């Protein structure tokens, strides 16, 4: 009987098996449902942070749904919607802050002129610069605009504000680690900033720092500067950049969101000196925000970094070289510990990678968002203007 089996019989049997396997694959595929919190199957992604992707692609909850490498028009439009909101908030924030500053400085000037009849414009300007008025207006303006436009952006994206502060797996040991890592990153950013500044100054341009505009020797001015630098700025900047912006830009590609928000955060300071710090530290702040699904860790690390730097800078201005040397030694020790802790952190926690599908939903879509691109242009323009036309 075996001799009666022909090659055609074997080929028919093999073809039948192939067809059966193909049908089983199709059946299995129809039964598979993607995880709406991680439809791209990215194991390095922090799934809770990005939210439900069915808000962008409703079919993702349907069995057998496949996310293609190249998004269709509807998906591009949905992802771009979040990028549009993020970019629009940056634009409105920048316009509102400057309008606020101009209006309230004019009001302050009017009050001072009314109370000091006959005062000349130069004296009035010098008084405003050397008093706590400018920093006070700056504090109130950024407090209102940072928080206000962050909440507006979250509302437009239909994201509950409380979701950005519900912290997960965070304790004192982590808090201590992140604070010291921030100091080390500041040291690295400082070296980077000096290098960039040196190159720029070789071409005859002065590197402007926003700190130059708020040098103050009176007690009230120092107090307001401390409150703004160490409390208001860290809290409100984290709400705006890591709370609202990172949340919106993470909808499809977390890696893109980390670097995009860090880049904008650096540019948002308006000068090269703080761009390096903002970008380098911004990557780390975004990473721990993703890890803990909250801005609380980044707020604490940001507050510690600014407070440590402010106190150190204040004491280093003392004439005693012994005090300056001692503080410098302490700073170096803290930075070295931060470097060791950073290695430990990065070995255990990797930045999200990008799948081929996600790569087509990050910068590829962001560059088609008019508000987002315009926001980047505005920030770059401000930095360029300060380099070319603003000098100490």
- Digit-coded pLDDT (tens) for 299-357: 999 999 999 988 887 777 655 677 777 888 889 999 999 999 999 999 999 999 999 99
DSSP characters over 341-371: HHHHHHHH-PPP---HHHHTTTHHHHTT-HH
Q: Which range has highest mean pLDDT (116-120, 195-199, 302-306, 320-324)?
A: 302-306
Q: Which residues, other chains included, contact 80 with Cβ-Cβ below 8 Å and sequence gap of 6+? A: 365, 368, 369
pLDDT value at residue 9: 63
Across 82-86, 115-119, 146-150, least confident range: 115-119
Dihedral, CA of residue 179, residue 287, residue 262 and residue 93, to nearest 10: -90
Q: What is the 3-state secondary structure (H, E, C) of 172-235?
A: HHHHHHHHHHHHHHHHHHHHHHHHHHHHHHHCCCCCCCHHHHHCCCCHHHHHHHHHHHHHHHHH
Q: Comparing 17-26, 141-150, 355-364, which segment has the lowest mean pLDDT? A: 17-26
Mean pLDDT is highest, among 125-129, 278-282, 320-324, for 278-282
Q: Which residue has the higher pLDDT, 289 or 17?
A: 289
Q: What pLDDT does residue 125 have?
A: 65
pLDDT value, residue 213: 47
CA distance 20 to 12: 12
Residue 132: half-sphere exposure toward Cβ, Cα within 13 Å? 15
Among 28-42, 179-193, 210-224, 318-332, whose mean pLDDT is lowest?
210-224
- Rounded CA-CA distance 49/63 in Å is 24
Question: Per-residue pLDDT for 240 more than 90?
Answer: yes
According to the model, what pLDDT value does residue 77 have?
97
Residue 124: band (very low, low, confident or very high) from pLDDT cuts 50, 70, 90: low
Looking at 13-17, 37-41, 109-113, which range is the least confident one? Answer: 13-17
CB atoms within 10 A of CB 126: 11
Residue with structure tokens 């005859």? 204
Confidence of residue 368 (pLDDT cuts 50, 70, 90): very high
- Are 302 and 237 within 8 A, CB to CB? yes
> What does the pLDDT read at residue 171?
95
| CA distances from residue 321 to 318, 325, 330, 334 in whole angstroms, order as listed | 8, 6, 14, 20
Q: What angle do CA 97, 139, 100 make, to 5 degrees?
A: 25
Which residue did the predictor score with more confidence, 50 or 8?
50
**Average of pLDDT values for 201-210?**
67
- Residue 1: per-residue pLDDT: 47
Band the pLDDT of 181: cuts 50, 70, 90: very high
To the nearest whole number, what is the mean pLDDT of the chain? Answer: 86
pLDDT in tens, 253-279: 999 999 999 999 999 988 877 898 899
| pLDDT tens for each residue of 24-78 | 555 454 457 788 999 999 999 998 899 999 999 999 988 878 899 999 999 999 9
Rounded Cα–Cα distance for residues 158 and 219 (Å) = 44
Under 8 Å CB-to-CB from 199, ≥6 apart: which residues?
none
Give the range among 154-163, 194-203, 332-341 with minimum mean pLDDT.
194-203
Nearest to 291 by CA among 189, 181, 174: 174
Contact present, 289 and 159 (Cβ < 8 Å): no
Q: Report the pLDDT value the prediction gives residue 346, as an integer from 0 to 100.
A: 95
Instruction: Count CA atoms within 13 Å of residue 160 on its CB side.
Output: 5
Whether 305 and 182 have beta carbons less than 8 Å apart is answered as: yes
* 356 compared with 215, residue with greater pLDDT: 356
Give me the count of residues in the chain.
392
């Amino acid at each position: 009987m075996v001799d009666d089996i022909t090659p055609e019989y074997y080929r028919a049997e093999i073809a039948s098996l192939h067809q059966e396997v193909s049908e089983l694959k199709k059946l299995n595929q129809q039964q598979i449902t993607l995880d709406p919190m991680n439809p791209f199957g990215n194991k390095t992604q922090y799934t809770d942070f990005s939210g439900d992707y069915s808000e962008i692609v409703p079919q993702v909850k349907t069995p057998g749904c496949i996310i293609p490498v190249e998004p269709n028009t509807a998906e591009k439009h949905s992802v771009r919607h979040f990028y549009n909101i993020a970019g629009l908030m940056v634009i409105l924030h920048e316009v509102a802050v400057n309008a606020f500053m101009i209006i309230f400085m004019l009001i302050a000037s009017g009050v001072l002129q009314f109370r000091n009849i006959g005062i000349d414009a130069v004296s009035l300007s010098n008084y405003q610069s050397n008093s706590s008025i400018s920093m006070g207006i700056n504090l109130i303006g950024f407090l209102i605009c940072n928080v206000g436009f962050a909440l507006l952006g979250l509302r437009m994206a239909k994201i509950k504000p409380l979701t950005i502060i519900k912290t997960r797996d965070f304790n004192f040991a982590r808090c201590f680690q992140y604070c010291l890592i921030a100091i080390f990153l500041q040291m690295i950013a400082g070296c980077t900033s000096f290098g960039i500044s040196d190159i720029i100054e070789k071409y005859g341009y002065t590197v402007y720092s926003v700190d130059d505009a708020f040098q103050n020797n009176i007690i009230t001015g120092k107090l307001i500067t401390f409150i703004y630098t160490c409390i208001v700025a860290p809290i409100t900047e984290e709400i705006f950049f890591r709370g609202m912006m990172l949340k919106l830009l993470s909808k499809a590609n977390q890696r893109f969101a980390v670097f995009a928000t860090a880049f904008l955060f650096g540019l948002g300071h308006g000068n090269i000196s703080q761009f390096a710090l903002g970008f380098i530290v911004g990557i780390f702040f975004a990473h721990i925000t993703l890890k803990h699904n909250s801005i609380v860790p980044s707020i604490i690390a940001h507050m510690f970094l600014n407070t440590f730097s402010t106190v150190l800078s204040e004491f280093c201005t003392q004439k005693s070289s012994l005090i300056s040397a001692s503080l410098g030694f302490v700073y170096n020790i803290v930075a070295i510990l931060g470097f060791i802790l950073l290695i430990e952190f990065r070995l255990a926690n990797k930045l999200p990678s990008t799948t081929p599908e996600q790569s087509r939903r990050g910068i590829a879509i962001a560059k088609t968002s008019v508000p987002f691109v315009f926001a980047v242009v505005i920030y770059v323009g401000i930095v360029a203007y300060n380099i070319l036309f603003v000098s100490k």
